[in-house]
Amino acid sequence: MNRKILLAASLMAVFTIGYYAYPTVAFAQYMGNVGSEGNTGSYTLEEALELQRRRIESAEANPSSGSGTPYLDAGGVVGASVIAGAVFGGIAGAFFFMGRKGKYAAMGRG
């Protein structure tokens, strides 16, 4: 198949999908519940500031609570990284050692 035709068809498909795709709007920071017309709820700036002030006071009153992210736990960041590294490293090691022998291994190298 001609590469130019394939490229043109791919570009047409991407632009067509992008044109007809449902437009989604992301509300990154809003105050209160956003209605269907984009209007916000009764959650005012003063209420938001009061809520944040109470959160800061609660965090200062309980310093041992931390952020809630268990870094060294098996379900945390480091634990999950170690487990994933061990699993994928074991699989890669098995492929490496099994690939050194067999009918496709280079003669004289193993």
Q: pLDDT tens for residues 81-98?
A: 888 999 999 999 998 888
**Two structure tokens written together for 71:** 């870094």
Q: pLDDT tens for residues 13-63?
A: 988 887 877 766 665 565 555 556 666 666 667 777 888 899 888 878 877
Output the CA–CA distances (angstroms, integers) from residue 61 to 34, 88, 91, in the order listed: 33, 42, 47
- Look at residue 60 and give its three-state secondary structure: helix
What is the structure's pLDDT at 52? Answer: 87
Residue ranges of the domains in the chain? Answer: 70-105
Which amino acid belongs to residue 73?
D
What is the structure's pLDDT at 90? Answer: 95
What is the structure's pLDDT at 34? Answer: 58
Residue 108's pLDDT band (cuts 50, 70, 90): low
